[in-house]
């Protein structure tokens, strides 16, 4: 599974996951025009690059996903996260996030046209 990290995530997360052998890019690196882009554009960019999107923004992306699939479109997966599981501002969050995605990527589910919520791996 290949991932595209939404702009909420530090590029350091993608770097750490690539160091572990995973194909992960951040919108900060992949396509600077995606920074502050409409959510539809970010989802379409992930689909065009055959990447599952990682985002915290379930409130906006869930309806987009539903509408896309209802219209006959497709995506390569959406991995939702939450501030509760991975609180911003906590110095340990990046490491926890990297560990959780690493576990997911070692045994990736088929996310074509599906979404999941990422679980935190306990320290």
- Please enumerate in sequence order all residues whose Cβ is within 8 A of that of 9, keeping only pairs 6 or more positions apart, or say none: 26, 54, 97
pTM, entire model:
0.93
| Residue 77, pLDDT score | 96
In our burial notation (b when 16+ CB lie closer than 10 A, e otherwise), range 32-56 reads: eebeebeeeebbbbbbeeebbbbbb
Enter the tokens of residue 18.
């690539």
Written as tens digits, the pLDDT of the chain (123 aa) is: 999 999 989 899 999 999 999 999 999 887 677 888 899 999 999 999 999 999 999 999 999 999 999 999 999 999 999 999 898 888 889 999 999 999 999 999 999 999 999 998 876
For the chain, the domains span 3-117
């Amino acid at each position: 599974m290949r991932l595209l990290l939404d702009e909420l995530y530090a590029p350091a997360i993608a770097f750490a996951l690539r160091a572990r052998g995973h194909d992960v890019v951040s919108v900060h690196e992949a396509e600077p025009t995606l920074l502050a882009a409409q959510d539809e554009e970010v989802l379409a960019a992930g689909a065009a690059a055959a990447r599952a999107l990682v985002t915290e923004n379930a409130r906006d992306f869930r309806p987009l996903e539903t509408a896309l699939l209802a219209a006959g479109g497709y995506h390569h997966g959406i991995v939702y996260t939450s501030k509760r599981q991975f609180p911003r501002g906590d110095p340990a969050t990046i490491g926890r996030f990297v560990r959780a995605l690493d576990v997911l990527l070692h045994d990736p589910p088929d996310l074509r046209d599906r979404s999941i919520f990422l679980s935190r791996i306990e320290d």
